[in-house]
Amino acid sequence: MRTLLQPPPAEEVGRRLTEVRRRITALAPDRAVKVVAVTKGFTAAAALAATAAGADAVGENYADELLAKHVALDGKWGLPLHFVGAIQRRRVPKLAPAVACWETVWRPEEGRSVARHAPGATVLVEVNLTGDTARPGVAIGGTAKLVAELSSFDLVVGGLMGVAPLGGGAAARTAFRSLRHCADDLGLAELSMGMTDDLEEAVAEGSTMVRVGRALFGERAAGSPIAP
């Protein structure tokens, strides 16, 4: 596991969350958009700061890092914990007691594993918005079939999650729009899309949940990936 960075003081995280909410409200004044504070790369203090600041959830990417913080926090994250990293089935049993929402289910066997170890859990289906098959996520054309299959397990499929091509702008907007259309077609309410660098594009396209790390906690240590 990498060395974890100390987050900024809780008051500073609070000011940054206010700024993130201002960016959201400017584009979506009439609806609530949840902020998932992505704490990967930072110590457990980041989760406490996010809680004090009034974020809606905490997001973690890596099983080992999450479990170390779970111990440090004595299980008291303060906020619902979202798993936003690559799901390794052998890690699911240990993660299950801590995780409230699995945002990155994109293979039936991952869903089956979550259903077995966390019956009734809420999951989102991760859709690959980049067209790069080396990246995680089900192809958009395979989403309906996967949602139907997952819905036959003991799971609640709450919506879709996606990571846009890096760089924001028109390409990100197009990707987010396709995800929104897909969720609309399937009657799914939750749309987890938008990170620090493409928050505006995502909110403008109907995001209901943004996943924000760097805007709240600062840059992560060099070499730490943006996404799994």
Ligand X SMILES: *Cc1c(COP(=O)(O)O)cnc(C)c1O
Q: How far is the CB of 152 from ligand X (least distance, A)?
A: 26
State which residue, 116 or 171, has the beta carbon closest to ligand X.
171
Distance CA 37, CA 217 (A): 9
State which residue, 108 or 228, has the beta carbon closest to ligand X.
228
Q: Over 99-154, what HEC string results?
A: CCEEEEECCHHHHHHHHHHCCCEEEEEEEECCCCCCCCCECHHHHHHHHHHHHCCC
Q: How far is the CB of 226 from ligand X (least distance, A)?
A: 5
Q: How far is the CB of 82 from ligand X (least distance, A)?
A: 9
| Phi, psi for 192 (deg, rounded to 5) | -90, 100
One-letter amino acid identity for 180? R
Q: How far is the CB of 217 from ligand X (least distance, A)?
A: 8
State which residue, 119 or 193, has the beta carbon closest to ligand X.
193
Q: What would the two tokens of residue 20 be?
A: 């993130």
State which residue, 157 or 193, has the beta carbon closest to ligand X.
193
Residues 6+ apart with CB under 8 A from 69: 39, 43, 44, 47, 60, 77
Q: How far is the CB of 70 from ligand X (least distance, A)?
A: 18
Distance CA 187, CA 147 (A): 11
Interaction site with ligand X (CB under 6 A): 38, 40, 61, 84, 163, 195-197, 211-215, 226-228
State which residue, 197 or 200, has the beta carbon closest to ligand X.
197
Which residue's beta carbon is nearest to the bound ligand X?
213
